[in-house]
Amino acid sequence: MARKILIVDDDTSIRTALETHLRSAGYQPLCAGGAAEGLRLLYGEHPELVLLDVMMPGMDGWEMAARIRELSDVPLVIISGKDSEDDKLRGFRLGADDYITKPFSLAELSARVEAVLVRAAKSARPRERRQHIFGDLRVDFDQHRVMRGEQVIDLTPTEFRLLQVLIEQGGRAIPEEKLHEAVWGALKAPGKKKK
């Protein structure tokens, strides 16, 4: 079965070129034109690797990288026109496995994708599944799934994050601001527009 690679880039021409190239290289590309759509695909499709552009309207790639690392250890490769050392270091601090600057050759991209996938496969170790069981209700943090008996309970990614935060607090009260930050991210000051 072809390995799934999620491409998140608001530039249609780049997205199409990457999709065509990766499909011809034997991968199954999944495409998203923005971060929100990308997170939905990440949650629903469980790709083996994410190619993420940084400069996108709305939620940018930096914020999406942080959200990805909250949800998953999936290999992450940032593709960006931002080529300063500070930008690259920021990407690695956010958990990127590689950082490719635009313009790049498709051959180089393929080589880097394969190298990251090989490293990820080598470092994958069997580990105990992280789950919580309450009577007949099972919450599986690794598969982002909630089940009652054999029945799957459908939750949105936000609903699952909210449930996970509440479980991890072990019954302790959480201030509203902390809960909001843990689930939806830091509150932005009203009246300020995001640049």
Rounded (10°) CA dihedral 10, 11, 12, 17 = -120
Mean pLDDT of 149-169: 84
SS3 at position 82: coil
The yes-or-no verdict on residue 175 having pLDDT over 70 is yes
Q: Where are the domains of the chain?
A: 4-123, 131-184
- Between residues 79 and 163, the one the model is more confident about: 79
Mean pLDDT of 61-69: 89
Whether residue 40 contacts residue 46, with contact meaning beta carbons closer than 8 Å, is answered with no
The yes-or-no verdict on residue 13 having pLDDT over 50 is yes
Q: How confident is the model at residue 144 (pLDDT cuts 50, 70, 90)?
A: confident
Residue 71: name the closest of 169, 180, 156 by CA.
Answer: 156
Fold of 4-123: Rossmann fold (3.40.50)
The yes-or-no verdict on residue 161 having pLDDT over 60 is yes
Distance CA 171, CA 166 (A): 7
Tell me, yes or no, if the two domains 4-123 and 131-184 fold the same way: no
> Which amino acid type is present at position 16?
T
Q: How confident is the model at residue 145 (pLDDT cuts 50, 70, 90)?
A: confident
For position 181, what pLDDT does the model report? 78
Indicate the range of 68-72, 105-109, 114-118, 191-195 predicted with least confidence: 191-195
Question: So what's the architecture of 131-184 in CATH?
Answer: Orthogonal Bundle (1.10)
